[in-house]
Amino acid sequence: MYGGGTIFEQPKQDNLTNEDPVLLAAFEARIERGEKIEPQDWMPQLYRKQLIRMIEQHAHSEIIGALPEGTWITRAPGFKRKMALIAKVQDEVGHAQMLYSAAETLGKSREQMINDLISGKSKYSNIFNYPAFTWADSCFISWLVDAGAIVNQLANARGSYGPYCRALDRICAEESFHLKYGHHCVIYLATGTTIQREMMQAAVDRWWKPMMHFFGPPDKMSVHTELLMKWKVKMATNDDMRNQFLDMYVPKIRELGLVIPDPILDKDEKTGKWIFSDPDWDEFFRVINGDGPCNKERLEVRKIAEERGAWVRRALSGNIFKPVTPLA
Ligand code: BYC
């Protein structure tokens, strides 16, 4: 592991039994009133721990998420697409920087977060463990994965922790450009030649299942939602976000003549809920626990990037002559 910073002891508490009841009640009342909690404010250890977990995972998702699209920069069809994709990938890495900074306000250093990513201790979004075989896969990510991210982030930007909400506001503004770029790429392929249409359809077939997983397990399987919603860290449940995404994007996808690979996908107009096939939650849990098609490759690339960047970090810290500690 590379060094730097003081070693942060992750808050261990998984319950509220040791918290001062008066402070806890005042904290919860502030959240109830819609106030933002700031880094210097009192907060229960569990709130701190949960926020670190979620913001850190989000930051990791942004840098790992840059990889499947990043591989298409050199092969983008045309100069305009190449320029736009470079800008998008750069934005995603910038989002990670903002999110790491937000998580650092809670006391965990960036070095520890990166180490936990590389060692496999921390999670990142399931969806980036799938390969982007074709240009159409990259278009699917730019339009629909970004669309899913915006649904989630617009909701959570109204949440309780100030630094996370402010980072999400900025991220959403940039993501809205990604969405337009991605939509344009998909429209182009879906209304193009037979080969282009087939390529786009094949991408939809490949990515639909991980896209359904993207919003997290069904509410009945979710372990963190109840508490995170009580503390306004999450502003909607996983099922509600998935439903909102389907509401907004199924008509747009079908409008382009693309077929969603789920024969029972339909909206129940009485309940307002979408009905869909079981997207194989076993696969979801396998992938988020390290056994997906690209997990190893993704972490290996990050590890190489950290090793190659070690001299820059050393130079910035003024320790040019300090030997590089190898990554674990
Ligand atoms: N992937 O209790 P639950 C982007 C884990 S990047 C992996 O429902 P929670 C983009 C969960 O962590 C934007 N793991 O969890 C970038 C937990 O495990 P642990 C990505 C997942 O936290 C570049 C367990 O399953 N967006 O869009 O209440 C290019 C139980 O789940 C996932 C974010 O990161 C998943 N999909 O809710 C293009 C949003 N889902 O930690 C695009 C921020 C669940 O107990 N995160 N797990 O070991 C969130 O909003 C929430 O954490 C989630 C999950 C809704 C994802």
Judge whether 7 lies within some domain. Answer: no
pLDDT, one tens digit per residue, over 145-183 is: 999 999 999 999 999 999 999 999 999 999 999 999 999
Q: What is the CATH number of the domain that holds 108?
A: 1.20.1260.10
E strands of the chain, at which residues?
266-268, 273-275
Residue with tokens 């039994």: 17
Q: Is the pLDDT of residue 5 over 80?
A: no
β-pair partners for 308: none
β-pair partners for 275: 266
Number of domains in the chain: 1
Q: Which domain holds residue 109?
A: 16-317
Report residue 215 as tokens.
Answer: 């919003």
Judge whether 151 lies within some domain. Answer: yes
Q: Is the pLDDT of residue 3 over 50?
A: no
- pLDDT category of residue 319 using cuts at 50, 70 and 90: confident
> Nearest Cα to 227, choosing from 12, 15, 24, 11?
15
Closest residue by CA, ligand 1 atom 49: 54
pLDDT, one tens digit per residue, over 32-73 is: 999 999 999 999 999 999 999 999 999 999 999 999 999 999
- How far is CA 307 from its chain centroid? 24
Judge whether 260 lies within some domain. Answer: yes
Residue 208 Cα to ligand 1 midpoint, Å, equals 17
Judge whether 323 lies within some domain. Answer: no
Q: Is the pLDDT of residue 12 over 90?
A: no
Judge whether 200 lies within some domain. Answer: yes
Residue 142 DSSP one-character state: I
pLDDT, one tens digit per residue, over 70-93 is: 999 999 999 999 999 999 999 999
Pocket test for ligand 1, best of 125, 138, 183 (most atoms within 8 A of CB): 125
Amino acid at 164: Y
- pLDDT category of residue 324 using cuts at 50, 70 and 90: low
Region 4-9 average pLDDT: 50
Rounded-to-integer distance, Cα 267 and Cα 275, Å: 6
Residue with tokens 């980036």: 128
* pTM score above 0.85: yes
Report residue 280 as tokens.
Answer: 């194989």
Judge whether 176 lies within some domain. Answer: yes
Closest residue by CA, ligand 1 atom 25: 216
Judge whether 209 lies within some domain. Answer: yes
Whether residue 218 has its Cβ less than 6 Å from ligand 1: no
Q: Residue 17: what pLDDT?
A: 83
Instruction: Report yes or no: 122 and 56 within 8 Å, Cβ to Cβ.
Output: yes
Judge whether 325 lies within some domain. Answer: no
Closest residue by CA, ligand 1 atom 36: 214
- Contacts of residue 187, defined as CB under 8 A and 6 or more positions apart, other chains included, come to 256
Residue 65 Cα to ligand 1 midpoint, Å, equals 13
Residue 215 DSSP one-character state: T
Ligand 1 atom with least separation from CA of 88 = 29
